[in-house]
């Protein structure tokens, strides 16, 4: 029997989760692993409703990162290889974000629905926290979900 005392039960923080000690394998893993968790496991757990918890999780994460401006967000997307991002403010006041080469879905056969709710939530959380308002993202195009050129999100800012 193992007599070593078990460490106290604590929530997993972002900082802790990002500590990596893999001297031989390093800090990177294939996109396949991410997609299995993000798409296959999430749908196994939540069925067709998987997009709602994925969106909320992304939004909470985005809001908790404490990013101060758009450049920090673009750097995050670059560092995590989420995709190549372009941002456009449309005349209606809607912020439109396009994700090229989306980590979640680029290259997939279309499955008849947008897939990137987590990314949408992440963008909404970050944009909302930068502007200090509520933000909502709607995925209007999706590469692997709908066969579009980009995963495109309309961001609406609220009070």
Q: Does 82 bind Zn ion (CB under 5 A)?
A: no
Residues 46-65 that bind Zn ion (CB under 5 A): none
Closest distance of CB 13 from Zn ion, Å: 27
Contact between 97 and Zn ion by CB under 5 A: the answer reads no
Pick 56 or 111: Cβ nearer Zn ion: 111
User: Does 151 contact Zn ion by CB under 5 A?
Assistant: yes
CB within 8 Å of 114: residues ≥ 6 apart:
51, 139, 140, 141, 142, 145, 146, 151
Q: Which is nearer to Zn ion, 88 or 131 (CB)?
A: 88
Give SS3 for 143: helix
CB of 50 to Zn ion, least distance (A): 14
Q: Are 153 and 137 in contact (CB under 8 A)?
A: yes
Least Å distance, CB 102 to Zn ion, is 3
51 vs 104, which CB is nearer to Zn ion?
104
CB 62, CB 122: distance < 8 Å? yes
DSSP per-residue codes, 30-88: -HHHHHIIIIIIHHHHHGGGGHHHHHHHHHHHHHHT---SHHHHHHHHHHTT--EEEEE
In whole angstroms, how close is the CB of 20 to Zn ion at the nearest point? 25
Restricted to residues 98-127, the positions that interact with Zn ion (CB under 5 A) are 102, 104-105, 116
Tally Cβ neighbours within 10 Å of residue 121: 28
Number of residues that bind Zn ion (CB under 5 A): 5
* 150 lines the binding site for Zn ion (CB under 5 A): no
Binding interface with Zn ion (CB under 5 A):
102, 104-105, 116, 151
């Amino acid at each position: 029997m193992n007599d070593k005392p078990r460490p106290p039960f604590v929530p997993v923080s972002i900082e802790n989760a990002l500590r990596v000690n893999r001297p031989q394998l390093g800090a990177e893993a294939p996109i396949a692993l991410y997609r299995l968790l993000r798409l296959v496991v999430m749908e196994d757990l939540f069925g067709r409703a998987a997009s709602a918890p994925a969106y909320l999780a992304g939004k909470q994460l985005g809001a908790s990162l404490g990013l101060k401006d758009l450049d920090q967000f673009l750097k995050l997307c670059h560092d995590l290889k989420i995709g190549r991002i372009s941002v456009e403010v449309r005349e209606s006041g809607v912020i439109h974000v396009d994700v090229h080469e989306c980590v979640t879905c680029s290259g997939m056969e279309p499955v008849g629905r947008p897939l990137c709710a987590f990314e949408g939530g992440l963008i909404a959380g970050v944009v909302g926290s930068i502007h200090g308002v509520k933000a909502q993202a709607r995925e209007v195009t999706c590469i692997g979900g709908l066969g579009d050129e980009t995963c495109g999100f309309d961001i609406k800012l609220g009070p």
